[in-house]
């Protein structure tokens, strides 16, 4: 009988088929052996523009296109390679120096091997993605060469060869093939061209040695970079992780931190319930105190001190173990700031370095003293320690070099400096640099590479400089980077998705046009929009008109963004990544390109626009009879600002139809609002101020305004809420699994414990948190007749006890969990701002499909909103973006206020002394060594330290340094149960020489902007002095 | 994790195993591999290898209900067995057939029932046994090709060779084609990792239709699609491109199989 084995003799092609065998293990622990065929070929081009051979063999793809050749015929050279060079990095070089490869000053004409790409993917997915996007951009001329498929460069693993050695060999064989290939092909072209050198970049010493033997040029990444111009800057961008490990291994330094448990021990512990997993959080007031919320307990667990937090950084997903009861402690009542305690640490690793310095220990000790109080704040709470890290959430951090940590300012010697991140909750980062002198006074971007057991601080490397501290450009970019806002201009692929007509796009005149299919003509309705002054992206417009039967028709018209943004094209994907438009004081980072946001979609007055309308029939008592949804064409009659609309409504001489319609809307909105409050909706407060960019000459502080609430504000708000709720119901009816909704979870009562305690102690008031209605009522009762702001203060504090609202898809929660706590609505979504929120855009698509809108081409596609998995990914992203956008907006206002105060201070200083501004403030929190004061005028919270209390008999203002010296002489008397703090001078405890403050107290403060030395540098701390 | 098609194909236009879009895997085939059966074949497309043997036409089993129904022509019975060691994970099956193999069996049965000149053998049964030795994508297509070879070896009359092949579509094939970007990336003859990632269409074609009792006379050389199945989601705008690519693959395979048959008769 014949053998059935594959017979390769008869088939000439068969010689080129080989196979790749590898073993992988699955999640469940199975080991799989995988065999794959490899078809070796000779038509993979070298992609060099020098080559005369490859263009003739390069094959076309299915559309007959031949990929353009990437590598330049005149590659850049260095001193060592005057004829230019092509780079062939190996995996380690990319792992250590991805920031370098992305740098625009060097690293052009790079050949990325398939072998390297695959290995990189196994080692680090984020780096792999960054490399892929590098390959896709044309400027950097990165060419992905599939070496494993090219007959000449395919390398078979030897019997005793490790996979790393084999891959290194593959890299070298490609380099030598390229060299031979180019020599031959350039000779053929008969043109006088100089051959570029092939340079292998590898950090493997063994590979460099072998390369020498094989006559291949190979350099380590550091050696190569050293030969470039401004090498110092570039060398700083190399990852520290590897280098550090090499040197440390030899020195065998002291180990400061306990070792993490092994992965299997963690997994067993988690499964058994002995260990818990959660996200590590650091207190903004005390960098040594972390907390972690785990599902097993109602209240967050405390993690105190460096030892216990064991190299976790805020945001990391960690595994913790509970500590025995005798180590339980109360949460800190002290403000502890890193730079104050560890100011004198030496960035160069000392042998004497201890994890917990004496000063830190002292800071902790004092807290333990408080541990045995009687009330809930003083009661010891369960504490835990970190025993493992599941996932690091390190990102790039914006910060600046601590000028105290630099040794010499002039030399070009490499030295280690501390970088203080802007984010207070991140520890300082140790960075090695050769350009310390240049970096001082700059906003820089750094990334953390590692945090080893033998190092007190994490080690990182410099990425790039954003510019000088306190310059507008640098600070704005810093802010955007900190909050991960995508601020790059829209790429061409996105702009290509815009309508070709540009600003000249118009609603088609002929109703036969396909744009009119499925649209109602609502152009004759008297529609107007009401927005903040200067608003360009008008999302919504309204109308109301009486019906013959005595009822009214009320309509909310929303910009029809989904008409312009088709699912899954480049613009849609970009918008889904951005998630939301971000509003900064002087800048808006759009979710959609300008053309759509401010023109084609924007419901501008006097022009026809596509809209998505929600129409209700309501009785004169605002009872809703029916609701209806339709795509439409509208023409807004007027775009009002809130003030203008208010004036027009209040002006009795205006009796035209448009004004009447607005008056009707206002009347309905008041009824709706009352109904909502009756149902238990909360009236929450946030410390918001708005900046109205005024003229340059005036006092910038006058631009800072607290948000005024006009009746027209709530008019718009009420109808938007109504539209959102109506749409949510409709969408959920049609898509019970995939409807995109928004929920606000009922906060657990223990969140309010502290606040309830404080209120009953200080004011004898009660807060009923059993339901949102009860809470709303009890909040209404929290009124202090002498202190009109007190109620708002309590509302701000109550808001902070709640969870934040989130997007979700209907299938992810039970229907009873859909509730929106704050609005007291059983179901809610976002529909009314599709220009600035991606969620609304998705809801538009879902609603269009729910009402059977077919679209222009006869089949509206809701692909992408119909698969739940994908939708959940989108929800996660937009929740994250939404939150960050809020933070970024607030930070921007804070920065602006600081700058405004600074500008004022400088003006004052020119004409005399800077005396700051006297304002009113309210005590929000009391610590043992300071208080937190809220200043409503500027919407800022300031930490008031000991030295910032102006004691009776002291003359007003001192300079920062003078005041700092005061702190040493001061002593405090802190009562954690009564929430009072008495500050006095040491040895002078007499009542008349001291200041006592208590929670919720109104205090006189003096606000000024001072240059801060420590971590806030450049941000300008707003200093608050308590003057009485 | 090795790389995947969706990321690397757009960059290099090379597939995971080094093929271009329109290249078949290496096909090797033999017939008369099992002298004990009426006809038999062994066929491998890449790492998918299949053994097939045909018994019959033989008298239908007595008492079999289908015996009476088969009065007009022969009944085709197909039995597919995927070996436990065929895939990546070794499966131990407690007898019977799983969903995948019974689906292949059903498709094969209906394809060949209508393809073969069964009216020549009334009251009889043609049974086909397909053993999958290793599965690496395009299983149904390989099984159809193997059956065709074995049936030819058994000398059962058929109007032409029924050959089959798969076609896939790289890129985001679940959304409609972008009218402004007319570039498509169809792929021919998918391997297992590609099948798991991309939409797959299996096409089977034959050179002419059977001249059965319907007496449909067709011109010689005209091609008919006899088998067309797809399990994945795909937007309909891509279908015609994939079909064209698949049919082209079937023609290539037909030439190969004809070579195998002619080569073996000469020997």
Interchain pair A32, B89: CB under 8 A:
yes
DSSP tag of A557? E
Is A565's pLDDT higher than 60? Answer: yes
Assess whether A184 and A314 both reside in one domain: no
Highest mean pLDDT among A59-63, A527-531, A862-866: A527-531
Percent of chain A with pLDDT over 90: 13
- Is the CB of residue A575 less than 8 Å from the CB of residue A559? no
Assess whether A292 and A217 both reside in one domain: no
Domain end among A184, A204, A238: A238
Listing from the earlier edge strand, what are the strands of the sheet with B163-170?
A: B185-188, B163-170, B200-206, B224-229
**Comparison of pLDDT for A61 and A502, the residue scoring more:** A502
Is A11 touching B (CB cutoff 8 A)?
yes
CA distances for A406 relative to A340, A412, A424, A450, angstroms: 17, 12, 21, 21
**Comparison of pLDDT for A371 and A421, the residue scoring more:** A421
**Comparison of pLDDT for A95 and A807, the residue scoring more:** A807
Interchain pair A63, B184: CB under 8 A:
yes
* Confidence band, pLDDT 50/70/90 cuts, at residue A229: confident
What's the whole-number mean pLDDT along residues A8-31? 70
* Confidence band, pLDDT 50/70/90 cuts, at residue A843: very high
Whether this prediction's pTM lies above 0.80 is answered by: no
pLDDT in tens, A753-799: 888 888 888 888 888 888 888 888 888 888 888 787 888 888 888 88
Is B203's pLDDT higher than 90? Answer: yes
Q: What rounded mean pLDDT belongs to chain B?
A: 83
Assess whether A754 and A706 both reside in one domain: no
CA-nearest residue to A19 within chain B is: B17
**Comparison of pLDDT for A951 and A848, the residue scoring more:** A848
Q: What rounded mean pLDDT belongs to chain A?
A: 80
Cβ neighbours around A903 below 10 Å, total:
14
Is A346's pLDDT higher than 60? Answer: no
**Comparison of pLDDT for A379 and A563, the residue scoring more:** A563
Is A7 touching B (CB cutoff 8 A)?
yes
Window 95-114 of A, Cβ < 8 Å to B:
114
Please report the pLDDT score of residue A795 as a whole number. 86
Interchain pair B47, A861: CB under 8 A:
no
* Confidence band, pLDDT 50/70/90 cuts, at residue A374: very low
Task: Let me know if residue A804 belongs to a domain.
Answer: no
Percent of chain A with pLDDT over 70: 83
Please report the pLDDT score of residue A701 as a whole number. 64
- Three-state SS string over chain B comes to CCCCHHHHHHHHCCCCCCCCCCCCCCEEEEECCCCCCCEEEEEEECCEEEEEEEEEEEECCCCCHHHHHCCCCCEEEEEEEECCCCCCCCCCCCCCCCHHHHHHHHHHHHHHHHHCCHHHCCCEEEEEEEEEEECCCCHHHHHHHHHHHHHHHHCCCCCCCCEEEEEEEECCCCCCCCCCCCCCEEEECCCHHHHHHCCEEEEEEECCCCCCCCCCCCCCCCCEEEEEECCCCCCHHHHHHHHHHHHHHHHHHHHHHHHHHHHHHHC
Q: What are phi and psi of A527, to 5 degrees?
A: -105, 140
pLDDT in tens, B226-251: 999 998 878 888 888 899 999 999 99
Please list, in sequence order, all residues whose beta carbon lies within 8 angstroms of the beta carbon of residue B19, skipping any fewer than 6 positions away.
A39, B25
Please report the pLDDT score of residue A522 as a whole number. 92
pLDDT in tens, A945-969: 777 777 776 655 556 666 666 667 7
Assess whether A648 and A765 both reside in one domain: no
Beta-ladder partners of A940: A935
What's the whole-number mean pLDDT along residues A207-214? 87
What's the whole-number mean pLDDT along residues A184-212? 81
- The CA distance from B239 to the nearest CA of chain A, in Å, is 15
Interchain pair A568, B42: CB under 8 A:
no
B contacts of A30 (beta carbons < 8 Å):
89
* Confidence band, pLDDT 50/70/90 cuts, at residue A373: very low
Is A242's pLDDT higher than 60? Answer: no
Beta-ladder partners of B127: B55, B77
Interchain pair B185, A861: CB under 8 A:
no
Residue A769 belongs to what domain range? Answer: 746-798
Classify residue B89 as exposed, middle or buried by CB count within 10 Å of its CB (0-12, 13-18, 19+): exposed
Nearest residue, CB atoms, A38 vs list B17, B44, B172: B17
* Residues of B contacting chain A (CB within 8 angstroms): 1-3, 7-8, 11-14, 16-23, 25-26, 28, 30, 33, 35, 42, 44, 46-47, 51, 88-89, 136, 172, 174-176, 178, 180, 182-186, 191, 193, 245
Assess whether A519 and A569 both reside in one domain: yes
Assess whether A226 and A255 both reside in one domain: no
Task: Let me know if residue A892 belongs to a domain.
Answer: no
What's the whole-number mean pLDDT along residues B57-66? 65
Is A632's pLDDT higher than 70? Answer: yes
- Residue from B14, B135, B188, B195 whose CB has the most chain A CBs within 10 Å, to mutate: B14
* Confidence band, pLDDT 50/70/90 cuts, at residue A309: confident
Lowest average pLDDT, out of A111-125, A338-352, A747-761, B183-197, goes to A338-352
Is A163 touching B (CB cutoff 8 A)?
no
Is A28 touching B (CB cutoff 8 A)?
no
- Name the strand (E) or helix (H) holding A1009: strand A1002-1010
CA-nearest residue to A125 within chain B is: B1
Domain end among A176, A203, A238: A238
Please report the pLDDT score of residue A118 as a whole number. 87
Lowest average pLDDT, out of A69-78, A105-114, A172-181, A474-483, goes to A69-78
Show me where the domains of chain B are located: 5-266
Task: Let me know if residue A293 belongs to a domain.
Answer: yes
As a whole number of angstroms, the distance between CA A147 and CA A385 comes to: 49
Is B209's pLDDT higher than 70? Answer: no
Task: Let me know if residue A295 belongs to a domain.
Answer: yes
DSSP secondary structure of A470-490: T-HHHHHHHHHHHTT---SPP
Task: Let me know if residue A52 belongs to a domain.
Answer: no
Window 553-582 of A, Cβ < 8 Å to B:
567-569
CA-nearest residue to A1 within chain B is: B33
Interchain pair A863, B20: CB under 8 A:
no
pLDDT in tens, A884-916: 998 898 888 888 887 887 777 777 777 656 567
- Residue from B12, B48, B178, B196 whose CB has the most chain A CBs within 10 Å, to mutate: B12
As a whole number of angstroms, the distance between CA A296 and CA A277 comes to: 10
Please report the pLDDT score of residue B71 as a whole number. 67
pLDDT in tens, A689-724: 766 655 444 556 666 666 667 788 888 989 999 999
pLDDT in tens, A515-561: 888 899 999 999 999 988 888 889 999 999 999 999 999 999 999 99
Query: How many residue pairs from chains A and B have C-beta atoms closer than 8 A?
Result: 104
- The CA distance from B81 to the nearest CA of chain A, in Å, is 18
* Confidence band, pLDDT 50/70/90 cuts, at residue B141: very high
Window 475-514 of A, Cβ < 8 Å to B:
496
Give the number of domains in chain A.
5
Assess whether A375 and A508 both reside in one domain: no
Nearest residue, CB atoms, B14 vs list A22, A30, A44: A44
- The CA distance from A14 to the nearest CA of chain B, in Å, is 7
Is A675's pLDDT higher than 80? Answer: yes
Nearest residue, CB atoms, A34 vs list B30, B44, B88: B88
Q: State whether residue A418 is helix, strand or coil.
A: strand
Please report the pLDDT score of residue A351 as a whole number. 38
Please report the pLDDT score of residue A614 as a whole number. 94
- The CA distance from B126 to the nearest CA of chain A, in Å, is 25
Please list, in sequence order, all residues whose beta carbon lies within 8 angstroms of the beta carbon of residue A216, skipping any fewer than 6 positions away.
A172, A175, A176, A179, A198, A200
CA-nearest residue to A66 within chain B is: B13
Assess whether A410 and A519 both reside in one domain: no
Task: Let me know if residue A487 belongs to a domain.
Answer: no
* Confidence band, pLDDT 50/70/90 cuts, at residue A125: confident
Q: What is the torsional sign of CA A443, A445, A448, A454? A: negative
Listing from the earlier edge strand, what are the strands of the sheet with A217-219?
A: A142-145, A110-113, A85-89, A197-201, A217-219
B contacts of A34 (beta carbons < 8 Å):
88
Please report the pLDDT score of residue A248 as a whole number. 41
- The CA distance from B2 to the nearest CA of chain A, in Å, is 6
pLDDT in tens, B246-264: 999 999 999 999 988 888 6
Beta-sheet pairing, A917-927 with A396-401: unpaired
Is A335's pLDDT higher than 80? Answer: no
Please report the pLDDT score of residue A629 as a whole number. 93
Interchain pair A4, B33: CB under 8 A:
yes
What's the whole-number mean pLDDT along residues B102-126? 91
Is A79's pLDDT higher than 60? Answer: yes
pLDDT in tens, B142-174: 999 999 999 999 999 998 899 999 999 887 666
Classify residue A423 as exposed, middle or buried by CB count within 10 Å of its CB (0-12, 13-18, 19+): middle
Assess whether A108 and A215 both reside in one domain: yes
Please report the pLDDT score of residue A222 as a whole number. 83
Interchain pair A148, B88: CB under 8 A:
no
* Confidence band, pLDDT 50/70/90 cuts, at residue A581: very high
A contacts of B4 (beta carbons < 8 Å):
none
Interchain pair B28, A67: CB under 8 A:
no
A contacts of B13 (beta carbons < 8 Å):
59, 61, 67
Task: Let me know if residue A775 belongs to a domain.
Answer: yes
Is A535 touching B (CB cutoff 8 A)?
no
Interchain pair B11, A135: CB under 8 A:
yes
Highest mean pLDDT among A95-99, A335-339, A468-472, A659-663: A659-663
Interchain pair B28, A6: CB under 8 A:
yes
What's the whole-number mean pLDDT along residues A65-85? 80
Assess whether A576 and A656 both reside in one domain: yes
- The CA distance from B132 to the nearest CA of chain A, in Å, is 14
- The CA distance from B121 to the nearest CA of chain A, in Å, is 31
Task: Let me know if residue A13 belongs to a domain.
Answer: no
Is A353's pLDDT higher than 70? Answer: no
Is A35 touching B (CB cutoff 8 A)?
yes
CATH architecture of B5-266: 2-Layer Sandwich (3.30)
pLDDT in tens, A400-424: 887 776 665 555 667 788 888 888 8
Please report the pLDDT score of residue A802 as a whole number. 86
Nearest residue, CB atoms, B28 vs list A7, A121, A864: A7
Assess whether A271 and A138 both reside in one domain: no
The three-point CA angle A91-A94-A97 to 5° equals 145
Assess whether A234 and A255 both reside in one domain: no
What's the whole-number mean pLDDT along residues B79-103? 80
């Amino acid at each position: 009988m014949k053998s059935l084995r594959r017979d390769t003799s008869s088939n000439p092609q068969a010689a080129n088929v080989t196979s790749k065998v590898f073993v992988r293990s699955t999640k469940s622990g199975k080991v799989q052996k995988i065999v794959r065929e490899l078809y070796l070929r000779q038509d993979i081009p070298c992609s060099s523009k020098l080559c005369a051979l490859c263009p003739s063999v390069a094959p076309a793809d299915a559309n007959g296109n031949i990929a353009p050749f990437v590598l330049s015929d005149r590659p850049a050279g260095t001193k060592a390679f005057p004829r230019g060079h092509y780079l062939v990095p190996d995996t380690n070089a990319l792992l250590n120096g991805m920031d370098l490869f992305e740098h625009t000053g060097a690293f052009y004409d790079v050949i990325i091997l398939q072998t390297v790409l695959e290995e990189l993917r196994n080692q680090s997915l984020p780096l792999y993605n960054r490399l892929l996007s590098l390959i896709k951009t044309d400027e950097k001329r990165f060419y992905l060469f599939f070496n494993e498929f090219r007959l000449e460069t395919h390398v078979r693993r030897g019997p005793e060869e490790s996979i790393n050695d084999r891959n290194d060999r593959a890299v070298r064989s490609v380099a030598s093939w390229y060299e031979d290939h180019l020599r031959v092909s350039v000779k053929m072209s008969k043109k006088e061209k100089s051959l570029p050198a092939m340079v292998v970049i590898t950090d493997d010493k063994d590979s460099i040695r072998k390369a020498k033997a094989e006559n291949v040029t190979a350099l380590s990444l550091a050696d190569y970079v050293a030969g470039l111009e401004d090498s110092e800057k570039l060398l700083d961008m190399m990852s520290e992780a590897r280098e550090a490990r090499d040197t440390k291994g030899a020195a065998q330094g002291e180990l400061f931190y306990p070792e993490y448990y092994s992965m299997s021990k963690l997994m067993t512990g988690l499964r058994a319930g002995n260990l818990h997993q959660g996200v590590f959080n650091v207190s903004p007031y005390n960098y040594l105190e972390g907390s972690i919320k785990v599902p097993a307990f109602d209240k967050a667990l405390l993690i105190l001190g460096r030892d216990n937090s064991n190299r976790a950084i805020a945001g990391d997903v960690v595994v913790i173990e509970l500590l025995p009861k005798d180590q339980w402690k109360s949460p800190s009542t002290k403000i502890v700031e890193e730079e104050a305690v560890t100011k004198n640490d030496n960035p160069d690793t000392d042998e004497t370095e201890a994890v917990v310095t004496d000063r830190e220990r002292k800071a902790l000790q004092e807290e333990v003293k408080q541990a045995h109080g009687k009330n809930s704040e003083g009661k010891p709470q369960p504490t835990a320690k970190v025993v493992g890290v599941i996932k690091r959430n390190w990102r790039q951090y914006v910060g600046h070099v601590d000028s105290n940590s630099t040794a010499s300012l002039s030399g070009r010697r490499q030295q280690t400096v501390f970088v203080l991140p802007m984010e207070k909750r991140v520890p300082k980062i140790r960075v090695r640099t050769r350009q310390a002198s240049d970096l001082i006074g700059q906003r820089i971007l750094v990334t953390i590479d590692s945090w080893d057991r033998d190092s007190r601080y994490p080690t990182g490397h410099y990425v790039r400089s954003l510019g000088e501290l306190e310059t507008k450009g640098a600070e704005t970019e810093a802010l955007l980077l900190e909050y991960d806002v995508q601020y790059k201009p829209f790429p061409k692929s996105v702009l290509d998705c815009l309508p070709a007509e540009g600003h000249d796009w118009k609603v088609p005149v002929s109703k036969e046009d396909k744009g009119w299919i499925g649209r109602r003509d609502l152009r004759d309705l008297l529609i107007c929009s009401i927005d903040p002054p200067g608003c360009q992206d008008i999302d919504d417009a309204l109308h109301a008109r009486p019906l013959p039967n005595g009822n009214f028709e009320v309509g909310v018209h929303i910009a029809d963004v989904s008409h312009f943004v088709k699912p899954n094209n480049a613009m849609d994907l970009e918008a889904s990544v951005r998630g939301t438009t971000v509003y900064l004081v002087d800048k808006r980072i759009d979710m959609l390109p300008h053309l759509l946001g401010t023109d084609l979609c924007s419901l501008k007055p006097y022009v026809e626009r596509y809209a998505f309308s929600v129409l209700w029939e309501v009785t004169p008592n605002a009872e809703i009879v029916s609701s209806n949804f339709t795509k439409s064409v509208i023409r807004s009659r007027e775009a009002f600002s809130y003030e203008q609309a208010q004036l027009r409504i209040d002006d009795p001489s205006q009796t035209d139809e448009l004004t009447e319609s607005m008056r009707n809307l206002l009347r309905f909105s008041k009824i709706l609002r009352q109904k909502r409050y009756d149902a238990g909706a909360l009236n929450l407060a946030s410390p918001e101020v708005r900046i109205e960019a005024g003229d340059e000459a005036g006092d910038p502080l006058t631009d800072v305004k607290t948000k005024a609430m006009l009746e027209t504000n709530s008019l718009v708000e009420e109808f938007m809420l109504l539209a959102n709720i109506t749409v949510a119901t409709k969408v959920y009816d049609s898509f019970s699994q995939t409807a995109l909704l928004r929920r606000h979870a009922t906060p657990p009562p223990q969140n309010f414990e502290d606040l309830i305690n404080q209120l009953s102690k200080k004011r004898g008031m009660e807060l009923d948190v059993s339901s949102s209605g009860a809470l709303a009522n009890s909040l209404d009762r929290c009124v202090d007749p002498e202190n009109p702001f007190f109620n708002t203060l309590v509302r701000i504090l109550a808001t902070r006890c709640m969870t934040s609202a989130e997007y979700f898809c209907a299938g992810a929660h039970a229907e009873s969990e859909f509730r929106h706590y704050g609005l007291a609505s059983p179901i809610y979504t976002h529909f009314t701002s599709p220009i600035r929120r991606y969620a609304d855009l998705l809801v538009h698509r879902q609603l269009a499909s729910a009402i059977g809108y077919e679209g222009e081409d006869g089949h509206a596609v809701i692909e992408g909103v119909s698969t739940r998995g994908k939708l959940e990914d989108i929800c996660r992203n937009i929740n994250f973006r939404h939150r960050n956008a809020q933070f970024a907006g607030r930070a921007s206002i804070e920065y602006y206020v600081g700058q405004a105060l600074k500008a004022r201070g400088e003006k004052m200083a020119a004409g005399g002394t800077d005396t700051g501004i006297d304002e009113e403030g309210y005590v929000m929190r009391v610590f043992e060594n300071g208080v937190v004061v809220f200043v409503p005028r500027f919407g800022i919270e300031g930490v008031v330290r000991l030295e910032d209390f102006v004691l009776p008999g002291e003359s007003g203002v001192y300079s920062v340094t003078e005041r700092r010296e005061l702190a040493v002489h001061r002593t405090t008397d802190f009562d954690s149960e009564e929430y009072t703090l008495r500050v006095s001078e040491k040895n002078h405890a007499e009542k008349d020489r001291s200041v006592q403050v208590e929670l919720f107290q109104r205090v006189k403060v003096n606000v000024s902007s001072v240059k801060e030395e420590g971590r806030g540098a450049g941000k300008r701390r707003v200093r608050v002095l308590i003057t009485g | 994790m090795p790389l995947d098609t969706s990321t690397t194909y757009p960059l290099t236009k090379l597939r995971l195993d080094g093929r271009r879009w329109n290249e078949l895997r290496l096909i090797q085939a033999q017939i008369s591999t099992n002298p004990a059966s009426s006809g038999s074949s062994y066929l491998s497309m890449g790492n998918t290898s299949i053994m097939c043997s045909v018994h019959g036409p033989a008298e239908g089993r007595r008492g079999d209900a289908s015996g009476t129904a088969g009065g007009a022509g022969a009944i085709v019975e197909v039995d597919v067995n995927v070996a436990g060691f065929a895939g990546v994970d070794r499966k131990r099956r407690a007898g019977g057939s799983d969903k995948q193999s019974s689906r292949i069996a059903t498709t094969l049965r209906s394809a060949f029932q209508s393809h073969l000149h069964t009216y020549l053998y009334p009251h009889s049964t043609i049974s086909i046994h397909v053993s999958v030795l290793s599965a690496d994508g395009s299983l149904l297509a390989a099984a159809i090709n193997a059956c065709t070879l074995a049936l030819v070896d058994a000398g059962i009359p058929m109007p032409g060779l029924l050959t089959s092949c798969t076609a896939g579509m790289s890129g985001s094939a679940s959304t409609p084609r972008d009218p402004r970007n007319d570039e498509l990336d169809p792929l021919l003859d998918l391997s297992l990792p590609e099948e798991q990632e991309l939409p797959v269409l299996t096409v089977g074609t034959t050179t002419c239709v059977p001249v059965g009792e319907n007496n449909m006379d067709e011109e010689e050389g005209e091609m008919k699609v006899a088998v067309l199945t797809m399990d994945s989601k795909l937007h309909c705008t891509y279908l015609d491109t994939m079909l064209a690519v698949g049919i082209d693959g079937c023609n290539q395979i037909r030439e190969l199989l004809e070579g195998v048959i002619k080569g073996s008769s000469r020997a």
